[in-house]
Amino acid sequence: MRRCTQRKWLGLLVVWICGSHLAGCRKPPLSSAEVRPYRTAVQVYLHQHSMGLRVAGFRELAVRGDRAAAVVVLQDAEGIVGVKVRWAFEFERRNGRWIAVSHREK
């Protein structure tokens, strides 16, 4: 009887772990088409401010009307240093185009 109870609890634990893993603790990755206008805006922003960085990827994107916010992973433009940083960017839509207007370290 005791062994049966242990197996039952072990089974429930396995189901709980698998269920919470499959429930989606992670969001699906953003598509390249989805982030394209924001990637372009960040690249222009980095170039205008002579930052020597390039976009490595997007982690989050939230669009609210003509404003948007994104967490962007950046790396050295020349690829010399393997270190990547995360910055939060704010965007505004002006004349139909997205413009990066500010950033801060994340």
pTM: 0.72
User: What domains can be seen in the chain, in order of their start residue?
Assistant: 32-105 (3.10.450.630)
What are the residue ranges in the chain where pLDDT is below 50? 1, 22
CB-based contacts of 1, cutoff 8 Å, min separation 6 = none
Q: What is the pLDDT of residue 27?
A: 65
Q: At residue 12, what are phi and psi to the nearest 5 degrees?
A: -65, -40
Measured between alpha carbons, how far is 106 from 100 in angstroms, rounded to an integer? 16
pLDDT of amino acid 61:
97
Q: Say what the pLDDT of residue 80 is.
A: 77
Distance between CA atoms of 91 and 38, rounded to whole angstroms? 8
CA contacts within 13 A on the Cβ side of 50:
0
Tokens standing for 10?
């072990």
